[in-house]
Amino acid sequence: MFPMISIGRLAKQMKISRTALLYYDSLGLLRPAAVSRAGYRMYSEQDVERLGKILDYRKTGLSLAEIRRLLDGEAGEDRVVALLLKRLGEINGEIAGLKKQQEILIRLIRARELLQTLRRSDPQSFAAILENAGIAAADYDAWHQSFEAHSPELHARFLEAAGFSAADIRELRQELRAQAPAPQGHSRQAGEGPDPLL
CB 87 within 8 A of CB 60: yes
Q: What pLDDT, on a 0 to 100 scale, did the predictor assign at position 187?
A: 43
pTM, rounded to two decimals: 0.48
Q: Which residues contact 168 (CB under 8 A, 6 or more apart)?
A: 123, 159
Q: What is the pLDDT of residues 98-108, one digit of tens each?
A: 888 877 776 76
Q: What pLDDT, on a 0 to 100 scale, did the predictor assign at position 72?
A: 84
Q: What pLDDT, on a 0 to 100 scale, did the predictor assign at position 176?
A: 82
Q: What pLDDT, on a 0 to 100 scale, did the predictor assign at position 127?
A: 67
SS (H, E, C) 73-141: CCCCHHHHHHHHHHHHHHHHHHHHHHHHHHHHHHHHHHHHHHHHHHHHCCHHHHHHHHHHCCCCHHHHH
Which segments of the chain have a pLDDT < 70? 1-2, 74-76, 106, 108-138, 162, 181-198
Q: What pLDDT, on a 0 to 100 scale, did the predictor assign at position 43?
A: 96
Q: How many CB atoms within 10 Å of residue 121? A: 16
Domains parsed from the chain with CATH numbers: 5-62 (1.10.1660.10), 121-179 (no CATH)
Q: For residue 66, how many C-alpha atoms fall within 13 Å in the half-sphere facing its CB? A: 17
Q: What pLDDT, on a 0 to 100 scale, did the predictor assign at position 188?
A: 44
Q: What pLDDT, on a 0 to 100 scale, did the predictor assign at position 124?
A: 65
Report the chain's mean pLDDT, rounded to a whole number. 79
